[in-house]
Each structure stands twice: as C-alpha cells, then as structure tokens.
Chains A and B, each alone.
Chain A
C-alpha cells in the first residue's frame, strides 16, 4: 500500500517536472557548449557555460529575456516588458549563421521589428567582447579560438606568412 503511494508520488512528481516550463529545468542547462560554426578557419570553441553562469549570474545578460528572466536593456524593454521565456534559448536559434543570404534578406524585409538583428558570428562577438573587456576576459582573436591550418593560410600567417623583408620592430598581433 505505502509502496504504491510512494510510486504515485514519484510518478506525479516526475510528471510535474516534465510538464513544467523549460526555464525551471535546471538540469537541462549545459555546462559546456561546443561552438563549431567557425570550423573552416578556427578550431572549435569549448565554451564554459557553467563558469559564465557562475560569473554573470543573470541569464538575461546574455540570453536577453529568452530564459525567463526579464532583460534590463532599455532598447528591448520598450517592447519586451512582460516577455517571458521562449521555446528556444541557444544563440544560434535566433541569430542565423548566414544572416545575409537571399532567403534571410527576404525574411528581414517582411518584419517590422528586429530588421537589424545580428548574425550568429556578430552576436557572439558583440555580446561577449564588451563584457570581456570590462571584466578582464579574453579579448584577442586567438584567445578564444585558435586558428587551424586553413585559418593560417587564410590570414597568410603562421606557417604561411610571407618572407619578412624588414624583420625588426614588427609587432605581431593576435
């Protein structure tokens, strides 16, 4: 009799958990995210999500309002005063990897709002570098993502650097 009750409690509890809104499902939040959209020039980035959660605390700082916490950004608050969580949260779900393709432009021209939305690459950099500069995080290109061989060839750098005519005094950038 008590076993059945316990099983019932456990089942209901699980059901409640499953049925509850996504934002409260803490165990679905990844600790590390592998960002591979730059694979043709750079090695994948292993983004330490857990560390950022610890440092930033407020999900809205990076995720706008999509995780459920309201954003403070005045440009967003104008319309999103009461907006809650959305079905998708990852950056790549709203910020396209190819923001300027013909299809993307056609879509943009139909929207009255969000017609200046950043692409994925721009969103990563714009969202992250400001805070990194203020908080002493990595700011150089290769500090976050290291070039692979194709990247070196692209930038005519590293093994593909042109022979130096005047070697003295040249600073090497990131």
Chain B
C-alpha cells in the first residue's frame, strides 16, 4: 500500500511539474477568488427595510450608539452610505410602482480589492474565507483606499485625533467568519434576504433563482464580474441602476488600471541611466580634455 502511494505521489508531482511550468501564456492572470471563499447573496426582492441588519452589525462590531433607533424608518428619506459609525446601511428606492425597493450597502469584499491594491503599507488582506480585512496598526491615514474603492465603502474616523483609522465591514471575520459562521447581519435577517455560502455555490443559487422566476428577477447577478468579481452578490427585481448601483463599472479589477504604469517603472529605472549618461557623453564630448578619445582630424 505504501509503495503504491509513493508511486502515485511521484506521478502526480511529475505531472504537475511538467504541466505547471508552462505557466500563463496570456501574460495577465485573473483571480476568481479563493476556492473556499465565502460570500453572501443579497436578494433585493425580499428586503422590506426593517434595518435589523444595521442593528446586528452595530452590536456585533461594538459601534457607537446610532443617531436614531434602528426601527426608525424616517432615515430612508435621504440616501446614506457606510460611515465610521455604520458599516452597513439600507437605502430605499422608489424604483417601481409596485412599492419601494430596499438595498443593503456594505463592503463587497471584492476578489481583487481596490483598497488592498492602493495601500502602501499593506494594511488590507483578502483572507481565504473571502473577507477583506484591515490592520489598523500599520495604517498611516493616507486615505488612498477611500479614493480607490469604486463602491464608496470605507469610512474614516476623522474625529479621532490620535488614532484615526479606516472603518468598514469586515465580514465579521474576527468573531464569526474565521470559525465558519455567518456574519451577524445574515443571521438576523428575518426575510433571509442574505444567503451565506461558498461564492461559487451562491452563483449557482442566484442563477437558479433567476431561471425559476424570470418575472421576479432581472437577469443579472451584480458582483459576479464587476471590478473583477465581489463576494457579496446582488439579485434585484428592477434594473440595478435604478437602485443606486453603478452599472458603468468595468469587469477589470481596479488594480488593472495602474498595472501598465507599474510595469513602466522598472523600465525607466533601467533605461534612463544609460540614456542620460549617453546624452551627457554625446553633449559634452567636445569639451573633454582629460583623456577621452578625441580623434582630431590631421592638420593639413
């Protein structure tokens, strides 16, 4: 038995080595997310705007007391966004005559996060469970991540004088996701708007829902491909741009916009010295008098 396993191991490694070495001939890799990555499917056709998810997040993440109770519906009068005190918010859109549509906004935990790509102290990490988490101990406060996030998610605690840090949804990583449990908002939702599971499974579930009830859903899962794919996926019954989504987003992750420039950097570092030293030698040659080769025309 042991010898058979040993031979199997050799074959597997050999095969992997020969196949693996060929690498990626197209040049640029795309990252579809970690295979064990979790996600949440947000079904906007089910949400009734009860704001229990906001309350759950507030308690789980030990956020400060809100300005208004979580059952106060008057907050829907204006459109809100996640802040340093509220990692998730629900907005109401009067998008269709049948009634309002509610949307839960939180960090989408992208596969290739813009915040992570823009951080020069590597404060963000995409964990294998799929969460994009943040290390406040190294953050310098440049706020490039706020500039980069296409969903306008991160908040910053400007009010703190001595330890301002980025504040955003972390998928309840420290308290729940690490242990395989769903985040607080998912657990509390009465209408089960939020379905927790592996990202690839959720894509299948989302497609099944659309297939079974084509009149109920718009045929698109938002977040499947946008900006490289996100872990939080959305289904809706109306067009996504009517409920506040940016439907002009490209499918390329934000990082790909700066890759060309980053590729030029080592080129300049290598080419410029030779180029400009060359210019120098060419430009000042006739003034050299200290031993550089200067073939003079023979005097007539």
A-side residues, CB < 8 A to B, are: 75, 99-102, 105, 108-109, 115-116, 118-119, 121-126, 129, 141, 154-158, 160-162, 164-165, 169-174
A121 touching B71 by the CB < 8 A rule?
no
Give B47-100 interface residues, CB cut-off 8 Å to A. 48, 50, 52, 55-56, 58-59, 65-74
Q: List, in ascending order, chain A residues with CB within 8 A of B213's CB.
A: 75
B181 within 8 A of A: yes
Q: 9 shortest A-B CB distances, which residue pairs?
A: A122-B192, A173-B73, A157-B69, A100-B182, A102-B180, A100-B196, A155-B70, A161-B69, A125-B190
Residues of chain B touching chain A, judged by Cβ–Cβ distance below 8 Å, are: 46, 48, 50, 52, 55-56, 58-59, 65-74, 180-182, 186-187, 189-192, 195-198, 201, 204-205, 208-209, 212-213
Q: Which residues of B contact A164 (CB under 8 A)?
A: 68
Distance of A115 from chain B, by nearest CB (Å):
7
| Closest chain A residue, CB of each to CB of B182 | A100
21 sample A-B contacts, Cβ–Cβ < 8 Å, listed by A number: A100-B186, A100-B187, A100-B197, A102-B181, A108-B201, A109-B198, A109-B201, A116-B195, A119-B192, A121-B189, A122-B190, A126-B192, A141-B50, A154-B55, A155-B52, A156-B66, A162-B67, A162-B68, A170-B68, A170-B74, A173-B74
Contact A122:B55 (CB < 8 A) given known A141-B50, A170-B72, A173-B72? no
Chain B residues in 8 Å Cβ range of A157:
69-72
Shortest CB–CB separation between residue A97 and chain B, in angstroms? 10
- Interchain CB contact (< 8 A) of A75 among B65, B187, B191, B212: B212
With A100-B197, A105-B197, A173-B72: A125-B192 Cβ-Cβ less than 8 Å:
yes
- Min Cβ gap B56→A in Å is 8
**Chain B residues with Cβ under 8 A from A116's Cβ?**
195, 205, 208-209
* B66–A162 touching, CB < 8 Å: yes
Q: Which chain A positions have C-beta within 8 A of B196?
A: 100, 105
B residues less than 8 Å from A170 (CB atoms): 68, 72, 74
Chain B residues near A155 (CB-CB < 8 A): 52, 55, 69-71
User: CA of A169 to CA of B72 in the docked complex: distance in angstroms?
Assistant: 12
Shortest CB-to-CB span from A36 to chain B, Å, is 15
Whether the pair A156, B197 counts as a contact (CB closer than 8 A) is no
B68 proximity list for chain A (CB < 8 A): 162, 164, 170
Q: Which A residues touch B212, using CB under 8 A?
A: 75
- Contact for A122 among B65, B191, B209, CB less than 8 A: B191
Minimal beta-carbon separation of A159 from chain B (angstroms): 11
CB neighbours (8 Å) of A156 from chain B are 55, 58, 65-66, 69-70
Query: How far does the alpha carbon of A140 sit from the alpha carbon of B148 in the complex, in Å?
Result: 40
CB-CB under 8 A from A108, the residues of chain B are 197, 201
